[in-house]
A and B are shown apart, each in its own frame.
Chain A
Amino acid sequence: MLRIPTDEELAAAAREGNADAYSLLVSRYATRLFNFLRRRARTEADAEDLAQETFIRAWTKLHTYRPGMRFSTWLYTIGTRLAATHARTRRLPEVGPPAVEPADPRNSAPADGPDPLAVALWSAADRVLPPEQRSAVWLRYAEDLAVGEIARVLGKSRVNVRVMLFRARRTLAAELARIESGGKDAST
């Protein structure tokens, strides 16, 4: 019976010098890493460069990877550090992807696609949340990572991550109210 190897098994094989195993890991994680780094880079081109650099750094540092750890957590941790270094050396604030103003969610009826209100909310998250909160929200709700794993990726405590997520949800709740009221400031 054919069994699909786990990420950790592929990482163990890559650690022994198996480039094919690493190629498979790159295929699995290219989109995920790229989308995560889009939340921390200024442009998509920057995110692509950061993703490439992260994969290369991971390849050269595979001997430090501990098999008990999830590969995704380890990879995102490298990506987070590289993005922070990149922003620091270029003295640029980490900004998110260019937020695309979605169509008015009240006018578009959800057929089989995603909830337009949810799409508008993600767009608002990219627009209004600070980079750390944006990354935490992405890892929690898009990547479905546990709070402990997010804490490890972002180099924060679990409590810190919970607080970040709480504040992000509060900010997004205000944005949601604004979206539902037709774009007017929710506080007024």
Chain B
Amino acid sequence: MNAQGKHARPSDRVEALLRSRDSSPWKPAPESLRARVMSAVSQTPGNRAESAHIATSARRWAAAAAVALCAASLGLLVGASLWRSDTTAPQIADSAPRQAAPIPQTGEAPTVLLARAFGDLRPAGSARFVDAVAAPMRTEAQGLAAETTSAAKTVLSRLPFVSMD
């Protein structure tokens, strides 16, 4: 009795047929396949040699990286300590802006002080700004400075206890 007659469910019949003797369509591999593979294998570095080579190469790279990292860290450390000990070298504290002179205690409100400071700085600042601008643009710069001054006066005049006169 063949595989088709003894199974009620179609999928069971399918399974039995697929498993039946010599039914699967095997086809022999081409004769040349094995020769081609072994020819290529003989030219390819052996897996053992290759893995050993990879391992050696990886170890060398890791060692070189570790040495470079150590040298860089050591150099950084030595450089930093030399820099700190060198008194002639410019220090961070030297380059920091000096502390501003204390504001004299006049008993005036801060807004009044602010207005006065603006009034003191403005003419010099405007003059420097106008001088820095090239001649053809000087008129425009003067206008801009005047507008800025006017706007600043407007703002300051709205503050309590401030008079720009």
Contacts and interface: CB of A to CB of B under 8 A. Distances in A.
Contacts of B21: 114
Contact of B40 (A56, A169, A176): A56
Interface centre among B10, B44, B46, B50 (most CB of A within 10 A): B46
Interface stretch (A58-66, A69-77, A84-92): A58-66
Interface in A146-185: 166, 169-170, 172-173, 176-177
Interface string B29-54: 11011101110111011111111000
Interface of B: 2-4, 10-11, 13-15, 17-30, 32-34, 36-38, 40-42, 44-51
Contacts of B41: 19, 22-23, 26, 55-56, 59
Interface of A: 14-17, 19, 22-23, 26-27, 30-31, 33-35, 38, 44, 48, 51-52, 55-56, 59-63, 97, 110, 113-115, 117-119, 121-123, 125-126, 137-138, 141-142, 166, 169-170, 172-173, 176-177
Classify the secondary structure of A's interface with B: helix
A125 B142 CA distance: 91
Nearest to A125: B18
6 contacts: A23-B41, A34-B30, A63-B48, A142-B26, A173-B11, A176-B14
